[in-house]
Amino acid sequence: MVSQRKEDWKTLSGLDLDRETTLESLSSIGFTAEDIGFAGSPPYTRGIHSTMYRSRLWTMRQYAGFSSAKATNERFKLLLDRGQKGLSVAFDLPTQLGLDADDDMSLGEVGKVGVSISSLSDMRELLDGIPLDKVSTSMTINAPAMVLLAMYIAVAEEQGVSSHEVLGTIQNDILKEYIARGTYVFPPAQSMRLITDIFEYCANNVPKWNTISISGYHIREAGSTAVQEVAFTLANALAYVEAAIEKGLDIDSFAPRLSFFFNCHNDFFEEAAKFRAARTLWYELITQRYSPKNPKSSMLRFHTQVAGVSLTAQQPLNNIARVTIQALAAVCGGTQSLHTNSYDEALGLPTEKSATVALRTQQIIAEESGAADVVDPLGGSYHVEALTKRIHDLALEQILKIESLGGSMKAIEQGWQQREIHNAAYQHLNDVEANNRKIVGVNHGLMDEETKTEALKLDPAVGDEQCKRLTQLRLSRDNSIVESCLGSIRKAAENGENLFPHVLVAVKSDCTLGEIISAMKDVFGTWMAPSGF
């Protein structure tokens, strides 16, 4: 007799699993083959392009950033030389919070979890020798996104590249910061104002730039289920669409440049189904509510990063297997770009060796696995189609629940999404501690390990060097022009004028990130979440 391994069979997110999915059981939940259509056609369940990777592989966009702009520039060039196709910038915590490196609050954090960028000079050094009309760049930045994009445009113009030609994405997704991550600066309403200012300016002046990357990644990293990741992300996206329409923007003027950013966790089939469900649901929500004329307005384009929270410090080489499974799920789910984590990231920032292995993992999937040779290779699988339908339906239920609370922002202010994530994370932790969920190296497959592991060592002098650079900048620039620029930002913040042109002039006049954000704080104030969220 074969022993039963578990009492209850569930996906990683807790969805019940039948022993076998049949065509009859699919029919019982309202699924028909016509529902999924064809790749490149609505509802885009099978992919947004008819030929998918047979025409063009996903963009291999490895996330990188540490220490100084110079050190990160060297890592960018290394990755590009080894076959990476796009850049993805990690900023340090002070930069994410709109603080200069010499701010008292920045002490001890400069260059630690990303690159330190305080001025146009830093951005110039970060992008030195990188052709900005050919390489697309993603910048994971939210509250100060307008300032960092303005710096990027200014450097591109110095290279002779028009803002109409630059390619890339800013994350610019503040709602998920209130839900799951915490690097917000301004109150919610003022934050939404900045985002729609970016939408408006870029629609006319930076047309090839993705003005937002609506992120489920951090929601999942905080402990959500796959269903919650889809639901909360799309609910946030609807809030941005509504805010832009209220500003007077036409749906087709900004929706084609909306992009999404999802996590990919360990449950291979659930994750592939999640991406297929998200595409379908977004198409339905946008077409039913806004009737866009441009088909691209209803296509969900997304970047994927494999799950950082799944990496273990124990037996770190095992993370290579986890990353491979997750990356393959993202490819089978139809991602447009992909970051694969390095196996040592539970211990520190990636070394050159581990970053190369992570990139090679993508290249092996692309060139050797066969997964990229067929459009939607899992399409038609009874199991995958059933999961796709269930995730779609359950996510829609949660979106409607959020709307019953007044929409995403109102629900955030009530702490609803935050509590739902906390509950899901607590349930998962209990499952692991009770051995209902086995994690190799943590509660299963344990072994004695050597404690010595190679890790990237950061130069502790980076913070001091950045402070010196800022001191020199403030001595060499025309401070009367700086004050005039900051005054213009305060005035525009007060009278509702689009802030982007004023910020662009300010960065070109050597105003620092911290000075620009501080000028906005003078008008907008700051915000702290109510206790307990």
Is 65's pLDDT higher than 90? no
The interaxial angle of helices 513-524 and 479-495, nearest 10 deg, is: 30
Mean pLDDT of all residues in the chain?
93
AA identity, residue 228: Q
Cα separation, 384 vs 378, in Å, equals 7
Worst-scoring range by mean pLDDT, 155-159, 211-215, 452-456, 497-501?
452-456
Lowest average pLDDT, out of 15-29, 270-284, 371-385, goes to 15-29
pLDDT(80) > 70: yes
Q: Does 6 map to a domain?
A: no
CA of 241: how far to CAs of 208, 235, 236, 245, 445, in Å?
19, 10, 9, 6, 47
| Angle subtended at Cα 311 by Cα 378 and Cα 97, rounded to the nearest 5 degrees | 105
120-149 residue pLDDT tens = 999 999 999 999 999 999 999 999 999 999
- Is there a domain that residue 515 lies in? no
Residue appearing with tokens 């001595």:
475
95 inside domain: yes
Asked whether residue 138 is domain-assigned, the answer is yes
The reply to whether 444 falls in a domain is no
Domain of 395 in residue numbering reads as 23-433
228 membership: H or E segment, kind and range: helix 226-246
pLDDT at 451 over 70: no
Structure confidence at residue 64 as a pLDDT band (50, 70, 90): confident
Give the CATH number of the domain where residue 401 resides.
3.20.20.240
Q: What is the pLDDT of residue 262?
A: 98
Beta carbons within 8 Å of 391's beta carbon, 6+ residues apart = 15, 226, 227, 230, 270, 273, 274, 277
> Percent of the chain scored above 70 by pLDDT?
97
Cα separation, 395 vs 231, in Å, equals 5
Give the chain's domain count: 1
For the purposes of burial, counting CB atoms within 10 Å of the CB of 102, is it exposed (0-12), middle (13-18) or buried (19 or more)? buried
pLDDT tens for 386-436 read 999 999 999 999 999 999 999 999 999 899 999 999 999 999 999 999 999
Number of alpha carbons in the 13 Å side-chain half-sphere of residue 246: 11
Distance CA 90, CA 456 (A): 16
Given pLDDT bands bounded at 50, 70 and 90, which one contains residue 63? confident
Q: What is the pLDDT of residue 533?
A: 52
Is residue 93 within 8 Å of 183, Cβ to Cβ?
yes
Flag whether 115 is in a domain: yes
Q: What are phi and psi of 89, to 5 degrees?
A: -100, 125
**Least-confidence region, from 81-90, 141-150, 238-247:** 81-90
pLDDT at 490: 98
Q: Are 503 and 155 in contact (CB under 8 A)?
A: no
Percent of the chain with pLDDT over 90: 84
Residue 208 lies in a domain: yes
Examine residue 377 and state whether it is found in any structural domain, yes or no. yes
Torsion angle of the four alpha carbons 518, 520, 522, 524, in this order, in degrees rounded to the nearest 10: -130
* Among candidate residues 303, 329, 324, 337, the one with its CA nearest the CA of residue 384: 329
> Which two structure tokens, joined as six digits, stand for 265?
């966790």
What's at 293, amino acid-wise? Answer: K
